[in-house]
Structure 1
Amino acid sequence: MTKEDVSEPAEGDAVLGCFTRNAPHQRAVIHQVASAPMPSDCEFSFFDPSEPQCREILQDPNTTIPELFAVLRQWVPQVQKNIDVIGIEILKRGCGVNDRDGLTDMSLLHYCCKAGAPGIGDAETAASFARQLLALGADPNLRSRWTNMRALHYAAYFDVPQLVGVVLQASQPGEVDATCSDFEFGTALHIAASNLCTSAVKRLLELGANPAFRVRFFSV
């Protein structure tokens, strides 16, 4: 990785001072499943942080961590482009940086890697928040138990080269070729290529992904 690949702290990174870095011995919590809170008289079916009633719910301390994880599961631009706003509210409520959503088994870093998806989210916003999470102790090697995907695999699957770079910057050498059993033990490069995620493919190759890595099929 060259010096140019190292990202400078973004202006929004000042939020780090509000939270404590995750201690190595701190055990991650799997939060129970809940439904997304919605205003009782709303005329839309998704959460929109820019809408006053939704913003009031978002900032209400009585809104729980599981409810806010449920908001993050909504695959709409209004939510995904506000990953940092919603994520900070989750952290404010005492969520550990490696805690997981009980339905998806995804951490905030996993959600970040999805939130940069072209046409849905904002890659720069997601990358900035991912850097904050990593500085707080987010584990880039954490896998969802349902998909066996790491943050890097999500970034590749959703074609977010900015997140590919951020995650690999925080990873050990060789992790670029970490495999995923849900994709026939392919690497992030296999995942990106099979989904025609050309931007992610290019970034992975720039950062040392092995194009000669062969997928091995295992019989049970």
Structure 2
Amino acid sequence: MTKEDVSEPAEGDAVLGCFTRNAPHQRVVIHQVASAPRPSDCEFSFFDPSEPQCREILQDPNTTIPELFAVLRQWVPQVQKNIDVIGIEILKRGCGVNDRDGLTDMSLLHYCCKAGAPGIGDAETAASFARQLLALGADPNLRSRWTNMRALHYAAYFDVPQLVGVVLQASQPGEVDATCSDFEFGTALHIAASNLCTSAVKRLLELGANPAFRVWFFFLSFLFCIITHQQT
């Protein structure tokens, strides 16, 4: 099994747009929990960046980082397909690229890997923003302390092969088989197979995931996933 730890941020001081790459050992902030903002006369329960009143709130400098993290937690297409728009507003307010949401303990890169989910997000938009975050020093090995999942595990869980590729491109050799204790120390391949995420399974295998890395709870799921994929 791989050791489940968090690596130090990568070095560098390159600038992407108006944001500066994370400095080595930069302090990570866990932002307090807040509720998502919404217009006072809003008739819907979720945040929609394309709606003028919501867009005004999004661009208002008085809207806080915790409030925008709360927006990212809304599992609706209107939010997830705009991960880049909302994420940039979070960065504009001084959020570190590896800072965490106080409720989920997830970073922007973690949210990116969820935001590509089929049927609710946009994988290409999420992958493009993930590349920007990684260029700014986002740590692909960072784990949520609630789920113990890395970005790769989220990409596998939500069946986003584009994000699997982006994250592994920024990772060290062998990280494809990093384990997650919340999934009985299964790897990203086990997680994808147990959810029948055939696209993620295929991409992980292409990128060197070890199918012989057995965790018995997931092994039957993996076999079923492969058989199902071969029949389609």
Give the alignment's TM-score, normalised by structure 1. 0.91
Q: How many angstroms does 1:24 deviate by?
A: 1.2
Distance 1:86 1:155 in 2: 19
Distance 2:102 2:182 in 1: 19
Q: How many angstroms does 1:17 deviate by?
A: 1.4
Identify unmatched segments of 5+ residues in structure 2: 216-230
Residue identity over aligned pairs, in percent, reads: 98
- Sort the Cα spacing of 1:3 and 1:124 in 2 relative to 1 into closer, same or farther, 3 A: farther
CA offset digits 1:185-219 (Å, max 9, x no partner)? 0000000000000000000000000000022xxx9
CA offset digits 1:56-111 (Å, max 9, x no partner)? 00000000000000000000000000000000000000000000000000000000
Distance 2:121 2:13 in 1: 19
SS for the counterpart of 2:13 is: helix
CA offset digits 1:124-178 (Å, max 9, x no partner)? 0000000000000000000000000000000000000000000000000000000
Distance 1:208 1:51 in 2: 43
Question: What's the RMSD between the two structures over aligned residues?
Answer: 6.7
- Sort the Cα spacing of 1:52 and 1:20 in 2 relative to 1 into closer, same or farther, 3 A: same
CA contact (8 A) 2:157 2:197 kept: yes
- Sort the Cα spacing of 1:8 and 1:25 in 2 relative to 1 into closer, same or farther, 3 A: closer
- Sort the Cα spacing of 1:25 and 1:70 in 2 relative to 1 into closer, same or farther, 3 A: same
Distance 2:95 2:26 in 1: 12
Identify unmatched segments of 5+ residues in structure 1: none
Distance 2:203 2:5 in 1: 11
Q: Which range is displaced more, 13-22 or 79-88?
A: 13-22
Q: How many angstroms does 1:16 deviate by?
A: 2.4
Q: Which range is displaced more, 143-152 or 19-28?
A: 19-28
Instruction: List 4+ stretches of structure 1 deviating above 4 A.
Output: 1-15
- Sort the Cα spacing of 1:88 and 1:11 in 2 relative to 1 into closer, same or farther, 3 A: farther
Distance 1:137 1:210 in 2: 28
- Sort the Cα spacing of 1:117 and 1:129 in 2 relative to 1 into closer, same or farther, 3 A: same
- Sort the Cα spacing of 1:16 and 1:4 in 2 relative to 1 into closer, same or farther, 3 A: farther
- Sort the Cα spacing of 1:129 and 1:7 in 2 relative to 1 into closer, same or farther, 3 A: farther
SS for the counterpart of 1:11 is: coil
Question: What is the aligned partner in structure 2 of residue 187 from structure 1?
Answer: 187
- Number of aligned positions between the proteins: 217
Question: What is the aligned partner in structure 2 of residue 27 from structure 1?
Answer: 27
Distance 1:158 1:180 in 2: 15
- Sort the Cα spacing of 1:76 and 1:11 in 2 relative to 1 into closer, same or farther, 3 A: farther
CA offset digits 1:7-48 (Å, max 9, x no partner)? 999999999211000011201100000000000001000000
